[in-house]
Amino acid sequence: MLTDTFLFYVFALLVLGGAVFTITRRNAVHSAISLIVSLMGVAGLYLLQKAEFLFAVQIVLYIGGIMVLFLFVIMLVNLDQAAHERQFNRQWLVALVAVGLAGAQIGWFLYKGAASFRIGDSVAQPLAPGGGNVEQVADALFSEYLLPFEVASILLLVAVVGSVVMAKKRI
């Protein structure tokens, strides 16, 4: 239990530190590397909550796929000039005030409702029978959520065609 708590704070530090560095760095490559640190922290949190399949998906898809895509685009698009310009827009103060208000609201609700989130903490029962996490996810995905799963594949096909059409010089 102590190890879990300690690891949670380590991963939380990785997530939040990486996120703050992501949005404050001037160089986009540094931002991308900080984002990788943040995403690895999120992957660790998944592992801490026994979501092993999502842990693997997070590493392979996010860190291996999306971040490589980002780095490719950073190299394709010339960002040298952008790094020497102003990094934040003129409305940053308004944005910070609005986000602060939203954060106060979310924090108030969390503070008021924190006691009602102790749903399964005292119950030490094992997860539902039927193997490990991957089996359970596959079972739910291919029986109960089969139609959304197929619709998601159509979405991915549309995204592939759309991104090729967008990035191509002449069609």
Partner 1 sequence: MHPVTTAHYLALSAALLLIGTVGVLTRRNIVIILMSIELILNAVNINLVAFSHALRNVNGQIFAIFVITDAVAEAAVGLGILIALFRNKETVQADEIDLLKW
* Residues 54-73 within binding reach of partner 1 (CB under 8 A): 54, 57-58, 61-62, 65-66, 69-70, 73
The rounded distance, in Å, linking the Cα atoms of 63 and 18 is: 13
Which among 161, 127, 106 has a CA at the least distance from the CA of 51? 127
The rounded distance, in Å, linking the Cα atoms of 20 and 63 is: 18
* Residues 31-50 within binding reach of partner 1 (CB under 8 A): 31-32, 35, 38-39, 42, 45-46, 48-50
- Is 112 one of the binding residues for partner 1 (CB under 8 A)? no
- Is 146 one of the binding residues for partner 1 (CB under 8 A)? no
Which among 4, 102, 78 has a CA at the least distance from the CA of 48? 4
The one among 119, 129, 147, 171 contacting partner 1 by CB under 8 A: 119
The one among 10, 75, 146, 159 contacting partner 1 by CB under 8 A: 159
Residue with the two structure tokens 């003129």: 90
Question: Cβ of residue 148: shortest distance to partner 1, in angstroms?
Answer: 6
